[in-house]
Amino acid sequence: MIVTRFAPSPNGPLHLGHAWSAIVAHDLAREAGGRFLLRIEDIDGARSRPELADEFRRDLEWLGLEWEEVPAQSTRLASYEAAAQRLLAEGLLYPCTCTRAEIMALEPKIGPEGAIYPGTCRNWRVDPEKPAALRLDMHAAMERVGKLTWEDDEAGVQVADPREFGDVVLVRKDAPASYHLAATLDDAADGVTLVTRGTDLFFASHIHRLLQAMLGLPVPRWHHHRLLLDPDGRKLAKSRQSGELGHGLAERRAGGEDGRALAERLRMGQMPGGITLSRFPHGAA
């Protein structure tokens, strides 16, 4: 049984890139007689706008997709806490009170997710009065689990090597879990067997494979799909106010467009409005 999911965050309206991502996940499940799940990733406290989740459901319906909805992330905080406590007790996490400015002042190397944490807090006790994130001791974690592999539908078998991310944050100062921890735990809890997402997150799968090994979770397969690029060759993004460029789904829906017809065109690779699919199938956006 193939189980896929679409997992949007309600911090901005969905755009054509999300439609593409949802359609890919939906169709991979449907073609295999499997299940397609919707999960709202709403633990980004300050930026979360709960009313958007209803808009997302209307968008998916408009595109002609059918789904089963699983509980939103905000209902799963106990599982994130339990996993973090377990890794902390095993000595694989450590508290970090560094601010972004303090990290940048050390002129860190830049990795796939931005600055690589220079490890400042790894070896001493931090001030318990300061807000702390929990970081993964990447070296200790890799020693613990040994060699790991994971498999992408198209890129094939990958040797998991998350070291270039450095000591990633698993519990944020301002949220109960990082994307890496929450998404990995949720996909396991929801029985997702085929993790679908854009190639921009290809390297994150190295981290997720490591977390699965550390937490004793089942290992899915992955399908990283190409990205929709705007006419300037940049990934469509909420932060670029894609709604203003006519890429927003709610806006197109309100304008009377036929969502099912749009979904069919996307499936056939007929991208609207100067949008193209990224060329590089894996790793590079």
C-alpha to C-alpha distances, 75 to 13, 30, 81, 165, 183, nearest whole angstrom:
22, 27, 12, 29, 13
Q: Does 84 bind Zn ion (CB under 5 A)?
A: no
DSSP 11: T
Where does this chain touch Zn ion (CB under 5 A) — which range of 50-58, 65-73, 117-125, 266-274?
117-125
Could you say which of 109, 130, 173, 238 is catalytic?
238
Where does this chain touch Zn ion (CB under 5 A) — which range of 5-13, 113-121, 266-274, 276-284?
113-121
Strand partners, 277: 228
Listed residue (33, 30, 22, 11) closest to 57, CA to CA: 22
Q: Does 120 bind Zn ion (CB under 5 A)?
A: yes
- State the nearest-atom distance from the C-beta of 167 to Zn ion, in Å: 9
Q: Does 169 bind Zn ion (CB under 5 A)?
A: no
Active site residue 238: yes
- Nearer Cβ to Zn ion, position 60 or 98? 98
Site for Zn ion in 253-282 (CB under 5 A): none
- State the nearest-atom distance from the C-beta of 172 to Zn ion, in Å: 13
Residue 30 exposure: Cα atoms within 13 Å on the Cβ side = 11
Q: Which amino acid is at 114?
A: G
- Nearer Cβ to Zn ion, position 11 or 120? 120
Interface residue with Zn ion, options 96, 136, 194, 227 (CB under 5 A) = 96
Q: Does 116 bind Zn ion (CB under 5 A)?
A: no
- State the nearest-atom distance from the C-beta of 20 to Zn ion, in Å: 37
- Tokens for 261, please give them: 């017809």
- State the nearest-atom distance from the C-beta of 231 to Zn ion, in Å: 41
- State the nearest-atom distance from the C-beta of 37 to Zn ion, in Å: 36
- Nearer Cβ to Zn ion, position 175 or 263? 175
Residue 241 exposure: Cα atoms within 13 Å on the Cβ side = 1
Q: Does 38 bind Zn ion (CB under 5 A)?
A: no
- Determine contact, residues 25/36, Cβ cutoff 8 Å: yes
- State the nearest-atom distance from the C-beta of 118 to Zn ion, in Å: 8
Interface residue with Zn ion, options 22, 98, 175, 262 (CB under 5 A) = 98
- Nearer Cβ to Zn ion, position 38 or 96? 96
Q: Helix H segments across 155-203?
A: 179-189
Q: Does 121 bind Zn ion (CB under 5 A)?
A: yes
- Determine contact, residues 209/216, Cβ cutoff 8 Å: no
- CA pair distance 177, 167, nearest whole angstrom: 15
Segment (H or E) for 136 = strand 133-136
Binding residues for Zn ion (CB under 5 A): 96, 98, 120-121
Active site residues: 238
